[in-house]
């Protein structure tokens, strides 16, 4: 088990595969590094070093009473990057992980970062307000907090809209639903509860303004968890050097439901290409 110990004594678990330019993946709530399984393996096969960590109080990292906030998440990420001496990094953040990598850049700079990718990410801010009328009302997040206190059933239910399986005509993948539940239950209740505030009420606008490196914003038009109007559409306008890709009809967990398309777009962005043929692109090599 690969881990680092942060300055406050927290153990952060991480996966580390392959060699080459590093791609660091940051997961969404309430998941773990396993949410990036396909990307970790596929891009390691392609000659990249792929890393994904379990955020504190998530997955196999320490379940902490304190520090379950975005400042500390960003500092933990900085310690991981520094201890592994990662440079020229491609940072990829999904959902809450998009907030984490954005806040890392705003708080610690981009000297070690080559490019950043935000996928169904929570910036600039999810909460509805007079200045953000496209946002989600606080009552919805209060409902998530209440659900988290009964998380065994709540996570099972949440997996349906997370992957768009509640839509008419959708093919439900029970394996994805069970994996979502297993990852969620592995983390800590206190940390998951605290994290709801961090993905819903933290404003990442000033962080986005500081990110001058090339950025790719990917968002599903049918994202029921982080609706695109208050998130991807706005982030792409705030980032100084952004490209926006909208996946029509795609759900929040699109990297898992559409891995070939997502991986091809990510590879094209890393290589500086405009587009690729998703049907002809084969990312993963056979695993013996």
Is 10 inside a domain boundary? yes
The token pair at 50 is 């792929």
Total domains in the chain come to: 1
Task: For residue 235, report the phi and psi dihedrals to the nearest 5 degrees.
Answer: -60, -40
Token pair recorded at residue 165: 């399986």
The reply to whether 184 falls in a domain is yes
189 lies in a domain?
A: yes
Helix/strand/coil for 25? strand
Range of the domain at 18: 3-271
| Contact in structure between 202 and 70 (CB atoms under 8 Å) | yes
195-216 per-position pLDDT tens digit:
999 999 999 999 999 999 999 9
- Pick the closest to residue 193 from 253, 150, 129 (CA basis): 150
Read off the pLDDT band of 273 (50, 70, 90). confident
> Does 280 fall in a domain?
no
Within a domain: residue 154?
yes
User: Within a domain: residue 16?
Assistant: yes
Is 278 within the bounds of a domain? no
The reply to whether 252 belongs to the active site is: yes
Whole-prediction pTM value? 0.94
Tally of CB atoms within 10 A around 203: 15
Residue 236 belongs to a domain:
yes
Query: Given pLDDT bands bounded at 50, 70 and 90, which one contains residue 41?
Result: very high
In 3D, which of 45, 43, 25 has the Cα closest to residue 35? 25
pLDDT of 243 over the 60 cut: yes
| Residue of 33, 61, 62, 95 with catalytic role | 95
- Residue 178 CB contacts under 8 Å (≥ 6 apart), including other chains: none
> pLDDT tens digits, residue range 106-142?
999 999 999 999 999 999 999 999 999 999 999 999 9
Instruction: Name the active-site residue from 76, 194, 207, 223.
Output: 223
Lowest mean pLDDT among 1-5, 31-35, 273-277: 273-277
Which residue among 54, 94, 252, 265 is the active-site one? 252
The CATH number that applies at residue 68 is 3.40.50.1820
């Amino acid at each position: 088990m690969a881990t680092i110990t942060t300055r406050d004594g927290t153990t952060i678990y991480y996966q580390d595969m392959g060699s080459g330019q590093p791609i660091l993946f940051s997961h969404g709530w309430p998941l773990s590094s396993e949410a990036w399984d396909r990307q970790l393996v596929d891009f390691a096969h392609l000659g990249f070093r792929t890393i994904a960590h379990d955020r504190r109080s998530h997955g196999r990292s320490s379940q902490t009473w304190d520090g379950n906030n975005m400042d500390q998440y960003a500092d933990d990420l900085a310690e991981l990057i520094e201890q592994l001496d990662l440079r020229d990094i491609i940072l990829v953040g999904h959902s809450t992980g998009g907030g984490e990598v954005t806040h890392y850049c705003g708080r610690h700079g981009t000297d070690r970062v080559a490019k950043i990718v935000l996928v169904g990410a929570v910036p600039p801010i999810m909460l509805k307000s007079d200045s953000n009328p496209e946002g989600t009302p606080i009552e919805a997040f209060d409902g998530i907090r209440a659900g988290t206190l009964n998380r065994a059933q709540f996570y099972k239910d949440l997996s349906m809209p997370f992957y768009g399986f509640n839509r008419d005509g959708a093919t439900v993948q029970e394996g994805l639903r069970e994996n979502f539940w297993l990852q969620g239950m592995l983390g800590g209740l206190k940390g998951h509860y605290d994290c709801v505030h961090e993905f819903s009420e933290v404003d990442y606008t000033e962080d986005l303004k500081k990110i001058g490196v090339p950025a790719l914003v990917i968002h599903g038009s049918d994202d029921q968890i982080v609706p695109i109007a208050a998130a991807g559409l706005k982030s792409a306008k705030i980032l100084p050097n952004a490209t926006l890709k909208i996946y029509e009809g795609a759900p929040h967990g699109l990297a898992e439901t559409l891995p070939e398309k997502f991986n091809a777009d990510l590879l094209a962005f890393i290589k500086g290409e405009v587009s690729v043929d998703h049907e002809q692109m084969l990312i993963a090599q056979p695993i013996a």
